[in-house]
């Protein structure tokens, strides 16, 4: 069963917006953040209108009801991603917060001088900078899995990169720049051979394809709700229960304690131990409705729809002279992201002219400066798709690129 993007678009109020310049919005920046269906917007408003109260503390109805809605989302998230159990789901502010939680709570306890942390050369800064900071503090070493010309991981020297000195491998499942989807099986198998742990940055993958966490056998998996139809300020860290149990808290404060004395404290059980303070209650409740929406549409259907859009986009863009497209040609290894550069034209100029046409894409280094340096470019133009995008959106992108070329007097479209 395929999804109907035209019917889906009716559920997203912003997609019918006319911009101040009179152009209809063509939203192709889903890699940065997705738009929100009315059900998610309504759920957030409903909480603030009728259910607003702090959770886990009050004995009165509003507090108890808000707590129930919040914790029901935790259970729903566990089922949606086929996690080990609900206690293994930790709510954070986003992927960045989740990765930093692991670096500070697990990393500071388990990484020692001379240990090795393995990353890849195409990691988002959120999965690079926290490990740089930890390695500097602990006098540990960073090692990197290289990429091939098609931006897939080069695993030819994997046994030399992941060794007995490796304590953690932290890698992305899908590149936010090229859309390359990585098969992590060989990496995880090697991690198990040396007794290390593995963290997967699922910020791009979790919103676009079915994820079965237990089957993946990862120790940590981090993602953001706002990229999968949910509100901003909500993220999830999955961790194996026994690992989370052994981790000390990162943040201290309310709701994460069992008892407090003047000079010492004992900590609450999971998941409260790792969720200090008042959380984004409205955002988590809104995320529950985002999961409902995605469940109804079907993650397999979303993946297939994005594959169709990506194939169409690549076909259309490859007809344009002077474009360099990055990433693999294998659609089985590619998500709904297309990054490109235009010969002799800075990405920021491309983005500005497309904006005049109502087409919203992302331009720049995409928080992946080391990858840009390896590709010897300052940045790319990135169009990223989701369940509500259509072929007409891609046609609008192509029309906008034609305008860019006409303004800069570059080569016309190819004819095949």
Which residues are annotated as catalytic? 367
Residue 35 tokens, joined: 């738009």
Nearest-CA neighbor of 65 among 80, 50, 79, 77?
Answer: 50
Beta bridge partners of 342: 323, 345
- Residue written as token pair 């994820």: 211
How far out from the chain centre does Cα 98 lie? Answer: 11
Backbone φ, ψ for residue 374 (5° rounding):
-65, -35
Peptide bond into 271 cis (omega under 30): yes
Dist CA 325 CA 323 (whole Å): 6
For residue 9, count other CB atoms closer than 10 A to its CB: 17
- Residue written as token pair 């917006």: 17
Dist CA 408 CA 403 (whole Å): 9
Residue 393 tokens, joined: 């959106």
Dist CA 69 CA 83 (whole Å): 19
Nearest-CA neighbor of 173 among 122, 236, 100?
Answer: 122
């Amino acid at each position: 069963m395929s999804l109907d993007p035209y019917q889906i678009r009716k559920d997203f109020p912003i997609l019918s917006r006319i911009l101040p310049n009179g152009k209809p919005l063509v939203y192709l920046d889903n890699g940065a953040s997705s738009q929100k269906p009315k059900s998610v917007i309504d759920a957030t408003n409903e909480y603030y209108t009728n259910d607003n109260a702090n959770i886990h503390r009050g004995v009165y109805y509003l507090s108890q009801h808000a707590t129930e809605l919040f914790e029901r989302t935790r259970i729903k998230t566990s089922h949606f991603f086929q996690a080990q159990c609900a206690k293994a789901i930790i709510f954070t502010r986003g992927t960045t917060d989740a990765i930093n939680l692991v670096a500070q709570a697990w990393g500071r306890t388990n990484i020692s001088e001379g240990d090795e942390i393995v990353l890849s050369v195409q990691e988002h800064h959120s999965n690079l900078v926290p490990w740089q900071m930890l390695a500097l503090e602990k006098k540990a070493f960073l090692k990197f899995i290289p990429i091939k010309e098609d931006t897939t991981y080069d695993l030819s020297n994997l046994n030399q990169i992941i060794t007995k000195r490796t304590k953690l491998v932290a890698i992305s499942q899908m590149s936010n720049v090229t859309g390359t989807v990585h098969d992590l099986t060989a990496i995880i198998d090697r991690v198990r051979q040396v007794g290390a742990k593995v963290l997967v940055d699922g910020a791009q993958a979790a919103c676009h394809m079915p994820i079965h966490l237990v089957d993946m056998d990862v120790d940590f998996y981090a993602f953001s709700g706002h990229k999968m139809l949910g509100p901003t300020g909500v993220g999830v860290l999955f961790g194996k229960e026994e690992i989370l149990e052994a981790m000390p808290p990162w943040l201290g404060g309310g709701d994460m304690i069992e008892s407090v004395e003047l000079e010492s404290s004992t900590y609450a059980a999971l998941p409260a131990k790792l969720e200090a303070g008042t959380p984004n209650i409205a955002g988590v409740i809104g995320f529950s409705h985002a999961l409902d929406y995605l469940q109804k549409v079907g993650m397999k259907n979303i993946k297939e729809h994005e594959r169709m859009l990506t194939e169409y986009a690549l076909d259309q863009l490859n007809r344009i002279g002077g474009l360099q497209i990055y990433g693999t040609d294998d659609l089985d290894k590619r998500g709904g992201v297309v990054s490109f550069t235009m010969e002799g034209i800075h990405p920021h100029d491309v983005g500005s002219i497309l904006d005049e046409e109502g087409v919203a894409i992302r331009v720049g280094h995409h928080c992946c400066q080391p990858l840009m340096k390896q590709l010897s470019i300052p940045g790319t133009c990135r169009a990223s798709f989701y369940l509500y995008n259509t072929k007409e959106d891609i046609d609008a992108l192509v029309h906008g690129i034609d305008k860019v070329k006409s303004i800069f007097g570059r080569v016309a479209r190819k004819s095949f």
